[in-house]
Amino acid sequence: MPQIHPTAIVDPNARLADDVTVGAYCIIESDVEIGPGCELRPNAIVRRFTTLGEGNLVDSFCVLGGLPQDLKFDPATPSRLRIGDHNVFRESVTISRATTPGGATVVGSRTYWMANSHAGHDATVEDEVVLTNSAAAGGHATIGRRAILAGGAGVHQFTWIGEMVFMQGNSGATAHVPPYTLLADVNNIIGLNSIGLRRAPDIRDEDRRQIKEAFRLTYRAGLAPREALAEMDDWPDISPAAAAFREFLRKVVSAEPPFDRGLCPHRIGRRGR
């Protein structure tokens, strides 16, 4: 049986695995499902239509599955928050459920959310993402696998952040950020995430070489994004990592409203290189 503190409030229609631990003063609403090995620390709240996989840690004062912060939203709308496995949600993390009937805000697995970080309605946060203190992703945003959002970083609604992007502290993105890049200030690509690429166990020397060439074509060759994409389409042997950069670019140039936000520029300046 789950270990439920006597002061916690757990709706009888919530489904908890046998080894779930629920701390003091927690609230778990109806239509919630919590998988094996999850722990809710005191004062955590899991709201209706939220699903957690296995091995998740939900720290104090988190609110998972809260109503979307959208003035048009009808609270009667049956929408969801779906969370994968082995995620850590530190103090006061908030994640909203989706706005569309049957839709879902989605969190992958092995993500780490530091205190006061947030994801809005209909957002997607992929595997192994790190959101540092007070980082936030707006509604309908996508944060790619292994991206890191440093303290106070913000992602505008309908914006895509590519795989292994590093957003510096207090930076902001209102346009799409391609994989493996560094973002500083607002919409300022300052180079590749070279340290992350060196540390990634699945990125080979040839991957790094091709990623550098893809970055050069996109940002330093004087080409329009569609022209850079056409150059990459002619490569005879493109690695999976470089192909991820190319396909992100293809997605950006073909995006339709409200996702037609364009690509973040590369500006040389005090923090550029």
**Residues with a known catalytic role:** 121-122, 139
Adjacent-strand bridge partners of 82: 51, 106
| Residue 133 phi, psi dihedral angles, 5° rounding | -50, 125
User: Measured at the alpha carbon of residue 125, what is the angle toward residues 260 and 146, in degrees to the nearest 5?
Assistant: 100
Rounded to whole angstroms, the Cα distance separating 92 from 229 reads 42
Tell me the two tokens of residue 190: 């300052």
Locus of tokens 């007070």: 134
Tell me the two tokens of residue 82: 């779906």
Locus of tokens 């270990």: 3
Rounded to whole angstroms, the Cα distance separating 34 from 162 reads 29
Which CB contacts under 8 angstroms, 24+ apart, belong to 253-258?
Answer: 253/225, 253/226, 253/229, 255/176, 258/140, 258/157, 258/158
The 3-class secondary structure across 140-195, one letter per residue, is: CCEECCCCEECCCCEECCCCEECCCCEECCCCEECCEECCCEEEECECEEEEECHH
